[in-house]
Amino acid sequence: MEIRGYGYYRSPSSSSTTVTLKAGEVYEAVVKEQVSEREAIVQLRGVDIRFRFEGDVPPSGRVKVQVTGNSGDVVEGKVVTPPSPSSFETLETPELRQAATIVAQRQLPLTRETIESLRTFLAEGKGTVEQKLETIHIAASKTLDMTVKQLQAVHEALHGKPFGESLHDIVRAIDEHFSFTPIAKQQSQTFSELRAQLQQERNFDRVIEIVKQFADDGRHEEIAKAVREAIALKERGHESFARSRIMQAVVAAEVNEKKAADLKMEQSSSANKELQMVRQQIEREPIVAKALAMAKGSDVVRQVLGPALQGAEQLYRSGQPLSAKNRLLEAFNAAEKREDVPKLPAQKQMIDEASRIIRTARDVEEAVRQLKETILPRMEMKDINEAIERVEQMGKQAKEQLIASLRKVGERVEQPSTVETKAEQLKQVAEVRKQAESASTVKAVESQVREVARTLPVEQAEKVIRALEQSKQLETAGRTVEARQQLVQALRTVEEETTADVVRTAKETVRPTPVETKSEQLKQVIEVRKQAESAPTVKAIEAQVREIARTLPAEQGEKVVRALEQSKQLETVDRTSEARQQLVQVLRTVEEETTADVVRAAKEASRPTPVEAKSEQLRQVAEVRKQA
């Protein structure tokens, strides 16, 4: 229940103060003023409220009260008198007296029914006395009802059989011949393999089909969602955006998978180190009771050793301390050996991953880069390091061979420009802001707000999420209109910031125009042609000719290289003049073709571009919206 501070008696600074009370709980209160035979103004948890007692109002001062209910802003309850320790001496057993003391220390009502429940649980409950007292302590600290059923449920959760063992007993009770047959896990495609396959696939419909099959198992909801968004983008004619959305989702999933694998490896290593440290402490500890306490004090030891630790405790309680310690140390040794087993499969998995990278990489440099980034930091192997060093030393020759082969590869995945990305973000923010303005509650648009926050920069996303959480709290307190206004205001601020980013990015984005690119190529071709005309031999300018060929379109580059090879052959049979003339003629032809390309590109560039006009329109719309 939520009670507001009582009218006249509240201080001005606490005009809107409320206090949350729970029926059945015991609180410490200060009686400040009696207002009737059974009612008084008391201070509970720092707030003055009107309290109706079951009996007479106690005198002014501190008392303990148990809340039983409320009537409007009037809280109802009774005075609770904690039992004195001497009253527990009448209880028949030390265990029952200790249990009653635990309950009383937690300020829980100690009625006859509670004493009877404690007596029944201690007498009939399973486990040792220490375990039963621990159960009572946990239940009291959680302010649970001290009934036999409640205590048995808590005790089973703390000290009962593991869930798997209980499930097995149930199944065997139904069918004693039943056995669990492990199902062989099928080897699935990894994220890195999926990414490599998508990069090589040019047909977008085939890309959608591949990713759909990958996400059919239901474990990759983010990728399935990206597929749905990509299909919608494709239907609107934005195939490049659709492909980019899928690749972003796959890369993000791949990064998360690697982080999870690294974290699991670190946790395993940390657990193994903690086991070794605790084992060494136990070996040096002469007192067995302290050694057992050390083992129980480690979460890792309790999780890994489990039954072995319980068996050592039973041996100790039965008067066999040395056997208990030996049993514990044997369990430690067995656990440490068991922790070493997964290391070999993990190493084999990394070797398989390295082989896949080498097979699927587009070129040698990419393979070396991926091996350095993903494999070498996790695995020290001398053979791989030496092989990579040899490949890097051959880098120049390999680069020339790869450049010739890469000309045959299609265009890479097209990425959306910065201006287009910002414009899409602005569109999404504006749409969600409109939905928030017309929504009946903040909760109705929570999923849309969280979705658009994932597409925003970190700072803006945190601002939106923070506003969403604050709005939900206001809505919970019944302030729905204020909650919606706060969320809309945050979205409007982000919308204005994104609008400014779009205008600024459109103005700052400077890409080389086709005219500039072609003009630079023409300038280089003219320079190399002049060098060829004055060079004494073709071999003297071979390096310059090959360099200019790399900058030309594929067809022109191949024409120049072919002419260079033929000229070198003519020069080897002492036909130097004819060789130079043939090379100069081909360069002159390429020069004429490039000149024509420059003229054509200049004509196309003379057409007005829509960037400035669109930016001005966007600025005007933002200004009008601010005025509205």
* 558 pLDDT higher than 80: yes
Confidence at residue 120, expressed as pLDDT on a 0 to 100 scale: 92
Cβ(600)–Cβ(519) below 8 Å: no
Say whether both 166 and 206 belong to one domain.
no
Q: Is residue 451 part of a domain?
A: yes
Same-domain check for residues 427 and 496:
yes
Same domain, 105 and 130: yes
SS3 at position 105: helix
Q: Which of 238, 257, 276 is the last residue of a domain?
A: 257
Instruction: Report the pLDDT averaged over residues 263-279.
Output: 71
Q: Which of 76-80, 178-182, 520-524 has the lowest mean pLDDT?
A: 178-182
User: Does 280 map to a domain?
Assistant: no
Is 274 inside any structural domain?
no
Q: Choose among 8, 97, 112, 11: nearest CA to 50.
A: 8
Query: 39 with 104, same domain?
Result: no
Q: Is the pLDDT of residue 247 over 50?
A: yes
CA 565 to chain centroid, in Å, comes to 56
Q: Has residue 290 got a pLDDT over 70?
A: yes
**Per-residue pLDDT for 171 more than 70?**
no
Measured at the CA of 120, the angle between CA 114 and CA 122, to 5 degrees, comes to 100
The last residue of one of the domains, among 508, 530, 563, is: 508
Structural domain harbouring 50: 2-79
Q: What's the whole-number mean pLDDT along residues 517-545?
A: 87
279 falls within a domain: no
Domains of the chain: total: 7
pLDDT in tens, 341-356: 334 345 555 666 676 6
pLDDT for position 620: 64
Same domain, 526 and 597: yes
Residue 415 has a pLDDT of: 40
pLDDT at 507: 66
Q: Are residues 497 and 530 in the same domain?
A: no
- 397 is a domain residue: yes
DSSP 363: S
Averaged pLDDT for residues 331-344: 59
**Is pLDDT above 70 for 71?**
yes
| Domain edge (last residue) among 25, 51, 79 | 79
Q: Choose between 463 and 333: higher pLDDT.
A: 463
Question: Percent of the chain scored above 70 by pLDDT?
Answer: 72
Instruction: Tell me, yes or no, whether 568 and 593 share the same domain.
Output: yes
Residues 424, 500, single domain; the answer is: yes
pLDDT surpasses 70 at 295 = yes
CATH number (domain holding residue 46): 2.40.50.140
Spatial separation of the C-alpha atoms in residues 116 and 154, rounded to whole Å: 18
Q: Average pLDDT for residues 516-538, to the nearest whole number?
A: 86
Least confident of 82-91, 199-208, 244-253, 493-502: 82-91
Q: Is residue 94 part of a domain?
A: yes
Task: Classify residue 610: in a domain, yes or no.
Answer: no
**In a shared domain, residues 57 and 129:** no
> How far does CA 441 lie from the centroid of its chain?
28
Beta bridge partners of 63: 29
Averaged confidence pLDDT in the chain: 77
The top-scoring range by mean pLDDT among 334-343, 381-390, 411-420, 498-507 is: 498-507
Q: Which two tokens stand for residue 414?
A: 């097209």
Contact partners, residue 539, CB within 8 Å, separation at least 6: 568, 571
Same domain, 569 and 520: yes
> Which H or E run contains 62?
strand 61-71
- Which is more confidently placed, 297 or 35? 35
Same structural domain, 454 and 488: yes
Q: Is residue 382 part of a domain?
A: yes
**This prediction's pTM:** 0.25
- Output the CA torsion 123→127→130→136 (10° steps): -70
